[in-house]
Amino acid sequence: MSRVVVVGGGLAGLSAACRLLGAGHQVTVVEREPVPGGRAGVLHRDGFTFDPGPSVLTMRDLIADALRAVGTELDDVLPMRRLDPAYRASFADGSTIRVRAGRDAMRAEIAETCGSVDAAAFDDFVEWLRRLYRVEMPHFIDRNFDSPLGLLSDPVAAARLVRLGGFGRLGPAVRRFFRDPRLHKLFSFQALYAGLSPESALALYAVITYMDSVEGVWYPEGGMHAVPLALAAAIEKAGGELSLGSSVEEVLRRGDGRVAGVALAGGQRIAADAVVCTLDLPVAYRRLLPDLPAPRRLRTARYSPSAVVWHVGAKGRPGPEIGHHNIHFGDEWAGAFRALLEEKTLMPDPSRLVTVPSVSDDSVAPPGSTAMFVLEPVPNLSADLDWRREAGPMRDRLHVFLQQHGYPSEVVAEELVTPADWETQGMEAGTPFALAHTFAQTGPFRPANHDRRVPGMFFAGSATVPGVGVPMVLISGKLAAERVDAYLGAA
Q: Is residue 262 over pLDDT 90? A: yes
Cα–Cα nearest to 228, from 215, 242, 207, 213? 242
Tens digits of residue pLDDT in 366-423: 999 999 999 999 999 999 999 999 999 999 999 999 999 999 999 999 999 999 999 9
pTM for the full predicted model = 0.97
Given pLDDT bands bounded at 50, 70 and 90, which one contains residue 1? confident
What residue type is assigned to position 476 of the chain?
S
High-pLDDT (> 90) share of the chain, %: 96
pLDDT at 469: 95
Are 461 and 405 part of one and the same domain? no
| pLDDT higher than threshold 90 for residue 149 | no
Q: Can you give the pLDDT at residue 151?
A: 76
pLDDT over 90 at 226, yes or no: yes
Residue pLDDT, tens place only, 300-359 = 999 999 999 999 999 999 999 999 999 999 999 999 999 999 999 999 999 999 999 999
Query: In the Cβ-directed half-sphere of 404, how many Cα atoms lie within 13 Å?
Result: 10
470 within some domain: yes
The reported pLDDT for the residue numbered 150 is 77
Q: For residue 153, name the pLDDT band (cuts at 50, 70, 90).
A: confident
Task: Identify whether residues 233 and 190 lie together within a single domain.
Answer: no
* CATH number where 269 lies: 3.50.50.60
Cβ-based neighbour number of residue 232 at 10 Å:
23
Q: Are 230 and 278 in the same domain? A: yes
CB 287 within 8 A of CB 436: no
State residue 491's pLDDT score.
Answer: 66
The pLDDT tens digits for 180-206 are 999 999 999 999 989 999 999 999 999
> Is residue 90 over pLDDT 70?
yes
400 and 321 in a common domain? yes
pLDDT greater than 90 at residue 112: yes
Please check whether residues 255 and 341 belong to one and the same domain: no
Span between the terminal Cα atoms of the chain, in Å = 12
Nearest partner of 14 among 175, 348, 237, 206, judged by Cα: 237
287 and 311 together in one domain? no
Task: Classify residue 12: in a domain, yes or no.
Answer: yes
Average pLDDT, stretch 247-264?
97
146 found inside a domain: yes
Last residue of a domain, one of 387, 406, 428: 428
Statement: residue 152 has pLDDT above 80: no
Q: Specify whether 423 is located in the same domain as 315.
A: yes
Percent helix, percent strand, percent coil in the chain, to nearest 5 = 40, 20, 35
User: Does 382 reside within a domain?
Assistant: yes
Q: For residue range 231-251, list pLDDT tens digits in order.
A: 999 999 999 999 999 999 999
Mean pLDDT, residues 50-66: 97
pLDDT at position 490: 78
Contact 313, 414 (CB under 8 A): yes
Q: Are residues 365 and 459 in the same domain?
A: no
pLDDT the model gives residue 424: 97
3-state secondary structure of 81: strand
| pLDDT 10s digits, 308-322 | 999 999 999 999 999
Q: Domain residues for 126?
A: 102-210
In a domain, 325, yes or no: yes
284, 400: one domain:
no
Q: Write out pLDDT tens, residues 204-214.
A: 999 999 998 88
End-of-domain residue from the set 408, 428, 448: 428
Concatenating the DSSP letter of every residue in 278-313 gives: -S-HHHHHHHH-TTSPPPHHHHT--BPPEEEEEEEE
The domain boundary residue, chosen from 428, 450, 475: 428
Q: pLDDT band for position 146 (50/70/90)? A: confident
Buried b (16+ CB within 10 A) or exposed e, 99-113: bbbeeeebbebbeeb
Q: Do 309 and 421 sit in the same domain of this protein?
A: yes
* Residues 35-41, mean pLDDT to the nearest whole number: 96
Evaluate whether residue 63 is within a structural domain: no
Query: Which of 425, 428, 468, 424 lies closest to 446 in space, CA to CA?
Result: 468
d(CA 425, CA 429): 11
* CA pair distance 426, 432, nearest whole angstrom: 9
In a shared domain, residues 189 and 285: no
pLDDT score of 117 more than 80: yes
Beta bridge partners of 88: 98, 326
Residue bearing the bigger pLDDT, 154 or 375? 375
pLDDT band at 58 (very low <50, low <70, confident <90, very high): very high
State the average pLDDT for the chain. Answer: 96
> Do the domain assignments include residue 49?
no
Q: Are both 325 and 385 inside the same structural domain? A: yes
Do the domain assignments include residue 22? yes
Number of domains in the chain: 3
